Amino acid sequence: MNGRVYLVGSGPGGLGLLTMRAREVIDAADVVLYDQLPGEEILATLPRDAERIDCGKYGGNHTLEQHEIEALMVEKVREGKTVVRLKGGDPFLFGRGGEELEVLREHGIPVEVVPGVTSAIAVPEMVGIPVTHRRYASTVTFITGHEDPTKPESALDWEVLARLKGTLVILMGVKNLPAITAALAAHGKDPATPVAIIERGLRPDQRVTVGTIADIAGKARTAGVRPPAVIVIGGVVELYGGTEE
């Protein structure tokens, strides 16, 4: 078996934030298994003769289940292929990159991880919001918004999250935004805490919606906010530099 797998982060979208190492391994790939998030600009530059396998989720419909993606990677490597698993942002921040690494290790497959610029930092940053700032926040917490806070089996402790003084950055949180802001407020988070939602960061149709814990869910509904979006909660949002659309 000469094949190997590269678990590659594409950055938050666009060629400018793709790393040089990512470019190198993508260009040498026999097979690219890609998610939706890397975006058209990057996907348009996959090598012509590489086999492309779409692993994206489209409105909740998975083209391939997670176990099928993992099985395909193993199968292609066993054929001696160089496989790139291309994921949005950084491969190990949410998005199940860690699980894929485990599976590949279990099969004794050589893996190189190529870090990427994460949307959790870059998307707020590109609209002028630093996730930390001496005046506002000395910690930052990355949260998956995928979990409904009203479910008792939630892995997230909203009481603790509400108490944190630093910045909260929520990924995959659009659908549960009303429940998330309600859970934070119920556990004592100041309702006046500023919130920004950045949809489709770094894409031509990027849009920013700003508000507070108290009113952001209503504003998001009115504006028709949709995934993918990064939600930032905390004083750093006051540094937002753009104009609201």
Q: Which residues bind ligand SAH (CB under 6 A)?
A: 12-13, 37, 87-90, 93-95, 118-120, 123, 171-172, 198, 200-202, 227-230
CA distances from 182 to 141, 176, 186, 238 (A): 18, 10, 6, 21
- Minimum separation from the CB atom of position 9 to ligand SAH (A): 7
Q: Which of 73, 76, 81, 172 is catalytic?
A: 172
Q: Which of 1, 27, 54, 57 is catalytic?
A: 57
- Nearer Cβ to ligand SAH (30/63): 63
> How far is Cα 103 from Cα 105, in angstroms, rounded to an integer?
5
- Minimum separation from the CB atom of position 94 to ligand SAH (A): 4
Q: What is the DSSP letter of 152?
A: T
- Minimum separation from the CB atom of position 134 to ligand SAH (A): 25
| Phi-psi map region of 108: left, alpha, beta (phi>0 left; psi -120 to 50 alpha) | left
Using CB atoms, what's the residue nearest to ligand SAH? Answer: 89
| 54 catalytically annotated | no
- Nearer Cβ to ligand SAH (56/235): 56
Half-sphere exposure in the Cβ direction for 58 (13 Å, CA): 6
**Residue from 17, 15, 73 nearest 45 by CA:** 15
Omega before 228 within 30 of 0, i.e. cis: yes
Contact residues for 186 (Cβ-Cβ < 8 A; gap 6+): 158, 162
| 219 catalytically annotated | no
- Minimum separation from the CB atom of position 123 to ligand SAH (A): 5
- Nearer Cβ to ligand SAH (198/210): 198
**Residue from 197, 199, 201, 196 nearest 123 by CA:** 201
- Nearer Cβ to ligand SAH (227/242): 227
| 172 catalytically annotated | yes
Active site residues: 35, 57, 172
